[in-house]
Amino acid sequence: MGRTIRVNLEDLPPISEERLREIEAIPDEDIDFSDIPELTEEDFAQAVWHPGYGKKQVTMRLDRDVLHFFKQGGRGYQTRMNAVLRAYMEAVKKASA
C-alpha cells in the first residue's frame, strides 16, 4: 500500500464549468465502480470514528524563513503547517508505541 497524502480541496486545481457539466452528464449506469470493493457489515464493525477535532486559534512566533517558506505555497499555508505538525505528532506517537 502506498503512503497517504493529505490534500485539501482549496489546494486542488479548479474544475472548469464545462468539465463539471460533462461529468454531471454521465449516467450512473455508465460509471465503472468495479475497482471499488463492496463494503460489508464487518467493514463497518471495524471502522474507527474520528470526530471532528475542531480548530483552536493560537498565537505563536515562527522564524521568518519558516513562515515565508509555507506562504510561498499560496492559500492554505496554515493548513499545510498544521499537516506537517500532525505528521510529526503521529510519527512520535508511532515511535513511542
Give me the pLDDT at residue 11, please: 83
Residue 49 lies in a domain: yes
∠ at Cα 20 (14, 26), nearest 5°?
145
Rounded to two decimals, what is the model's pTM? 0.47
Would you say residue 51 lies in a domain? yes
- Asked if the structure places residue 4 within a domain, the reply is no
Looking up cell 486545481 gives: 13
**71: CB partners within 8 A, 6+ apart:** 77
Mean pLDDT of the 5-9 span: 80
| Residue 50, pLDDT above cutoff 90 | no
How far apart CA 26 and CA 33 sit, in angstroms, is 13
Q: Tell me if 1 is assigned to some domain.
A: no
Residue 84 domain-assigned? Answer: yes
Number of structural domains found in the chain: 1
Amino acid letter for position 93: K
Distance, in Å, from the CA atom of 88 to the CA atom of 40, rounded to the nearest integer, reads 33
82 belongs to a structural domain: yes
Let me know if residue 91 belongs to a domain: yes
pLDDT value of position 2: 58
In a domain, 68, yes or no: yes
Q: Provide the domain limits for residue 62.
A: 13-96
Please, which pLDDT band fits residue 1 given cuts at 50, 70 and 90? very low
Cβ-contact 76, 8 below 8 angstroms: yes
